[in-house]
Amino acid sequence: MDVSELHSRFEAMRAASRAQADTPLLLRRERLLRLHKLLQDNEARLCASVQADFGQRSARVTSLTELLPLHSQLRQALEKPIDGSTEAAQQLRSDLDSAIANISSGQNQLAYTVTSIGARGKALDLQEQANESLSIANASTQSSIRDSDPAEVMTRLTLQQTMLQASQMAFSRISQLSLFNSL
13-37 residue pLDDT tens:
778 777 776 777 677 778 778 887 8
Distances (CA, A) of 113 to 9, 49, 61: 18, 14, 16
Give the distance from CA 61 to its chain's centroid.
20
pTM above 0.75, yes or no: no
User: Which pLDDT band, with edges at 50, 70 and 90, does 127 fall under?
Assistant: very high
The angle, 0 to 180 degrees and rounded to 10, between the axes of the packed helices 86-147 and 68-79 is 170
Mention every residue, 6+ apart, whose C-beta is less than 8 A from residue 70: 39, 99, 102, 103
* Mean pLDDT computed over every residue of the chain: 80
Q: For 59-72, how does the pLDDT look when each residue is reduced to its tens digit (9 = 90+)?
A: 777 777 777 777 78
Q: Region 165-178: what's the mean pLDDT?
A: 86
